[in-house]
Structure 1
Amino acid sequence: MDLLRSLLFASIFYPGTVVAVLWAFPVALVRGPRALRSHAVGWARFHGWCARNLLGIRTKVEGVMPTGTVLFAAKHQSMYETLELLRLLNEPAVVLKRELADMPGWGRVARMYGVIPVDREGSSSALRTMLKAGRAAINEQRPILIFPEGTRVPPGEQPPLRAGFAGLYKSLNLPVVAIALDSGRLYPRRRFVRHAGTITFRFSEILPAGLPRPEIEALVHERINLLDR
């Protein structure tokens, strides 16, 4: 049954995604960033519909999702949360690898959406670009979303946080909400077959701005891994 569900999901979601990505170009160029962000959320809702109705996967939210400008730091196990958090967090500015933001065509659209590119080499010019994009999101009163582990990890793995999280936290002086999740059980990375069930997103209490780096990293690391035990 899971294989049949996954085949049906792939036959509908991925062609729909091609259409959504192609349509994003004229939306961005003609109607501008706000319309593009609404378009991206629409794509995320389409993914959520496919997950619920074709895969039998539902989302359960625990805790309180604050509004306004907050730095959300989420566990990263699969593509599921990448799209679901676009919907849940209301058009967040997403921190992603600079290589993705520099891709011809798609990179321009991503920057118009308002992503925050991160250079793993950590050059001073890259840091200035990251902070400029972060402050632009703050000025628009948008939340910022970062996956502080830097990449998707399978269930059971709890790597240390990448340095980019601490740099963004300190420079933007924002409170943090950590997000634990367990998507990898049902929607595993790099696997075709998904499984029906419920994926939980657990939002932590608000962690204040201005904490020392070791303290905020320890708090976030603990909280994003609460469902991975």
Structure 2
Amino acid sequence: MRGLFFKAVFYPVSVGFVLLAPLFALAGREPLTRHVHRWARFHDWCARTLLGVRWRLEGEVPPGPALIAMKHEAMYETIEALLFLDRPAPVFKRELMDIPIWGRACQRYGGIVVEREAGAKSLRAMLAEAKELIAEDRPILIFPEGTRVPHGQRPPLKSGMSGLYRILGLPLVPIACDSGRLLPKNGPKRSGTVTFRVGETIPPGLPRDEVEARVHAAINALNG
């Protein structure tokens, strides 16, 4: 029943937020960012009130531009991350940008669009988008597993994370989370506290194998 109540409140109201987003986008990125932040706070209220789900942050996310690699177990962290990261710019799949209204708002909010088969032109556009966001002191948020993963599973990381790490030359901050423990994709939702654990910052310039091993261990720190 918790999940049904949540869906009955959160999704209809979210439609209103999405429809209003283009109006805020016309006013500029900052008004749109505030609008998105209000939506994230609404999601947090729904999760706390209707699902009984809260979160805590263990550790501190360093300020300034960085590549944030986060464990992905539920939709929950994709929205709640907006509340403890400073204007995070997510890595979007091209398919999301093609959604009417939503895609336009995402583009205005700021993010990096990843093509499944990126050619040289797409890579140049991606790098230009990233440099613009870095100039605004925004972190880049990526979910290196590529999709939601059931709690307890540790699949290998997709190559996109290490590619961005190499190209952007930013420090990398891994973040573990255990949202799937309470909010599985299939099955009943449970109340409780989701933990986000910030791992040790990884400096730029390290070999790919070392970076991927360190990130894999850090984002799975709550799966034991």
Q: TM-score range by the shorter chain?
A: over 0.9
Q: 2:20, 2:138 → 1: CA distance?
A: 24
Q: How does 1:48-59 map to 2 (within 5 A)?
A: 48-59=44-55
Q: Which shows bigger deviation, 125-134 or 48-57? A: 125-134
Q: Hey, which bits of structure 1, 4+ residues long, moved more than 6 A? A: none
Give the paired residue count.
Answer: 224
Q: 2:118, 2:208 → 1: CA distance?
A: 17
TM-score with structure 2 setting the length: 0.96
Deviations 1:133-191 (A, max 9, x none): 11111000011100011111111221111111111101110001100000001111255
Q: 1:127, 1:156 → 2: CA distance?
A: 34
Question: 1:161 pairs with 153, 157, 172, which one?
Answer: 157
Consecutive unaligned residues in structure 1, runs of 5 or more: none
Q: Does 1:203 align with 2:210?
A: no
Q: Is the 8 A contact 2:89 2:111 kept in 1?
A: yes
Q: Which residue of 2 aligns with 1:150?
A: 146
Q: Does 1:9 align with 2:1?
A: no
Q: Which residue of 1 aligns with 2:20?
A: 23
Consecutive unaligned residues in structure 2, runs of 5 or more: none
Deviation at 1:66, TM superposition (A): 1.2
Q: Which shows bigger deviation, 41-50 or 95-104? A: 95-104
What's the C-alpha RMSD, in Å, of the aligned pairs? 1.2
Question: 2:30 pairs with 25, 30, 34, which one?
Answer: 34
C-alpha distance 104-53 of structure 1, shift in aligned 2 (>3 A): closer
Q: Is the 8 A contact 1:93 1:114 kept in 2?
A: yes
Task: Give the 3-state SS of the residue equivalent to 1:15 in structure 2.
Answer: helix
Aligned sequence identity (%): 53
Q: 1:158, 1:129 → 2: CA distance?
A: 32
Amino acid at match of 2:212: E
Q: Which residue of 2 aligns with 1:69?
A: 65
Task: Give the 3-state SS of the residue equivalent to 2:16 in structure 1.
Answer: helix
Q: 1:127, 1:153 → 2: CA distance?
A: 27
TM-score with structure 1 setting the length: 0.94
Q: 1:206, 1:190 → 2: CA distance?
A: 33
Question: 1:189 pairs with 182, 185, 189, which one?
Answer: 185
